[in-house]
Amino acid sequence: MSTQPAAADWRPALVPAAVLRHDPVRGADLLLLPERVVVLRGRGEVVVGLCDGTRTVRAIVEELTARFPGAPVADEVPAFLDGLRREGCLR
């Protein structure tokens, strides 16, 4: 299993079976997959929402850096996306 962060030119997108939803009862954002639910913490929903297959990881990082100045976006987002890819949530 690779521990390298996601490639900057990768264009992540949700796998066809994945659905992003907000659960008002839990007050949490969820990534629903067949027989599995991934609870997204912090700004995870914002990051996943940008994974539309048109933006590169680099573009996602740039957009989030502009939205959240001072946040460790460049350090955390590529690894977060790579983790979701390893879990089968992103292609």
Q: From residue 23, how far is each of 9, 29, 38, 39, 51 by CA, in Å? A: 32, 6, 12, 10, 20
Residue 12 lies in a domain: no
Q: Average pLDDT of 44-60?
A: 98
* Residue that the structure tokens 């089968």 belong to: 88
**Residue 45, domain member (yes or no):** yes
Give the rounded percent of residues in the chain with a pLDDT score beyond 90: 93
68 domain residue, yes or no: yes
| Number of structural domains in the chain | 1
pTM of structure: 0.90
pLDDT of residue 69: 97
Mean pLDDT in residue range 65-79: 97
In a domain, 81, yes or no: yes
> Could you tell me the residue range of the domain that residue 68 belongs to?
19-86
**What average pLDDT does the structure give for the chain?**
94
Is 7 domain-assigned?
A: no
Residue 3: per-residue pLDDT: 47
